[in-house]
Chain A
Amino acid sequence: MTRYIVRRLALLVPLLVGASILVFVTMRLIPGDPARLALGAEATEEQVQLMRRQWGLDQPLPVQYVYWIGHAVQGDFGRSTVSRVPAGQEIALRLPATLRLAGLSMLVSMVLGLGLGVVAAVRHNTVLDRISMVVALFGVCTPTFWLGLMLILVFSVRLGWFPSFGQGGLEHLVLPALTLGAAAAAVIARVTRSSLLDVLSADYLRTARAKGLAEHLVIARHALKNGLIPVLTLLGIELGGLLAGAIVTETVFAYPGIGLLLVNSVSNRDFAVVQAALLLFALQFILVNLLVDVLYAVIDPRISYG
């Protein structure tokens, strides 16, 4: 198992480098002179030339990449053409908001998903089971942005319980977190149910029941522990996708996080910010997936990796 973890960690650096190369290539593929794109339409000729020298834009591509990554690790991505603020700063300003949203969404998805899945499995083949799975099925098929709009319609417009945009206190987080967490909750619910169903019919549980253990303790002490192992990896995968899902949710709720920043920057052709945001998203996705893989190897002793 340690060998697997070490190998996985060793792959991390090439993967990060590869991802950064992909982002770099993407940015260079955009038609137009990179310096002029980065500085915007009102830049003077001197500014453009200065940037070309600083970022090595007259050098061959691999050299350009080195300049670019060198600047990037110091947090220097150039300035936003929209706000004139350094791109790295724009990101840093909005990151906490997105992290808050992602955190609450993860909580929502775990509570809703696990709750629904456990209930469905334990009350297998009853009305509760059927209803839970229908809800979960619709959760998987519903576009996040539509769910957000419908939640706004019901809870903001009609009932006036929650605000429909912006940030502030907890009340601004509730609807976005519900929206973002719902899709993940649906997937978690389905997997939890099927995994628990597999476990609940296992022999060692029959033994526990035969020995007189009450049903709820059978579930709590034995079934849940083993049944939840595959759900753990799923939780990790969903968490990795949360930041990407935030892109849509933040747009619907005009919630000022990095998701909304990315969308606006792409629309505004603010490429300094775009490349910084892309790198950040890729970095967190890779790291979270790595964490999940390692955790899975640690938790499930039955798995042995060559």
Chain B
Amino acid sequence: MAEGEVARMSVAGWAFLAVSWISITALAAFCIARVLKSDKKAGADETPLD
């Protein structure tokens, strides 16, 4: 690549970015929701581990 020549975002680039971001965000949100749900079930916002 010559100096000044810039590659633009390709369709594949957008696809890799979107799939990565969406899958990580979804899985992280799922995990946090489950933690909060099980904590709520245990009767407290911050479940004492003892």
Partners in one complex: no
Interface residue ranges, B against A (CB under 8 Å) = none
